[in-house]
Amino acid sequence: MKIKSSIQPAYFFLSCLISASYPSISGAQPVGNGPVAAARDSLSYADMADLADASSLVAVVQIRSVVTLDAERAGAVPEGYRRLYIEADVTSLIRGDGGISPTVRYLYDAPLSPRGKLPKLKKAQMILFARRADRPGEIQLVARDAQIPADAPTIQQVKAILSELVANGAPPRIIGVGDAFHVRGTVAGESETQIFLRTQNGDPVSLSILRRPGQEPRWAVALGEIVDEAAQPPARGSLLWYRLACGLPRSLPAQSVRSLPIADADAARADFALVMQALGVCERSRAIS
């Protein structure tokens, strides 16, 4: 359903949009000047994956009209932002079962410039990370900064991330670390540590760290019951890397080694630290809830 761009139809939908969508976009707080700063400084792979993973609807749009809401209708808005009611024409649907209306309507908290000016959004091409709202054509952004400029490289990166997310056998979300086990070998300096990870969907994921005398330690991740010692660590900027680097704690929890002898627990902690060092830091330029 399309509507004409005017203040009156915008206000017609505001009560529904604010009550339904704003709680969902208030959790993730942007860093600096939000999406404007993120676009300038370039979002990291983790930033993009965070947004894509939280979204059931991802679309490229061209903004048709923008209405700045007065304080009475806007509700609670963080300092340095103005709440906007936006209508946009969908130019490309990247993710969204069941399709999407050719015109969408949503609320967006726009960051103000140091001089208190709003960004120029009319006719801008944007990528929206969202979910459907109650009314046809209405959507809810998944975070306050879930609208980013739609240049060609960014669109391709988002498509690649989403392709990995929906692929068969895609790495599940990591929600914690389970038990760790450490076994010493028959010769000095030989050992193996296995660390089981907790996942959102219950699929088995584990880390295996193998040490042999005179060789560099080797580690692998298994997405299943069988560990392939020949498997290579995940490449940085891949979904498996993101799940591990951004989903695991930086050190092995005490609960994971509660049943191990002190020496074996220390070895397991060292092996987990080796994995985290190899993965590197999960760099984000935006905060998440």
Say whether pLDDT at 190 is over 50. Answer: yes
What length does the chain have?
Answer: 289
Rounded to whole angstroms, how far apart are CA atoms 50 and 67?
28
The pLDDT of residue 174 is 97
Least confident stretch, 76-85, 121-130, 166-175, 219-228: 219-228
Task: Quickly count: other Cβ atoms within 10 Å of residue 91's Cβ.
Answer: 13
List, for residues 4-41, the tens digit of each pLDDT value: 333 344 444 554 555 444 443 333 333 333 444 434 35
Contacts of 144 (CB under 8 A, 6+ apart): 25, 26, 28, 29, 30, 34, 78, 81, 109
Q: What percent of the chain has pLDDT over 90?
A: 73
Say whether pLDDT at 192 is over 50. Answer: yes
The pLDDT of residue 288 is 53
CA neighbor of 161 nearest in space, from 241, 48, 61? 48
HSE of 232 in the Cβ direction (CA atoms, 13 Å)? 4
The pLDDT of residue 9 is 43
List, for residues 118-147, the tens digit of each pLDDT value: 999 999 999 999 999 988 899 999 999 999
Least confident stretch, 28-32, 37-41, 160-164, 176-180: 28-32
Say whether pLDDT at 209 is over 60. Answer: yes
The pLDDT of residue 229 is 63
Which amino acid, residue 53?
Answer: D
Work out the pLDDT band at 155, boundaries 50, 70, 90: very high
Q: What are the CA-CA distances from residue 59 to residues 93, 116, 208 (Å)?
A: 4, 29, 39
Mean pLDDT value across the chain: 86
Q: In degrees rounded to 5, what are phi and psi of residue 92? A: -160, 130
HSE of 25 in the Cβ direction (CA atoms, 13 Å)? 30
The pLDDT of residue 97 is 83
DSSP per-residue codes, 12-73? HHHHHHHHHHHHHHSSSPPSTTTHHHHHHH---HHHHHHHHHT-SEEEEEEEEEEEEPPHHH
Domains of the chain (ranges; CATH) run 7-166 (2.40.50.120), 174-279 (no CATH)
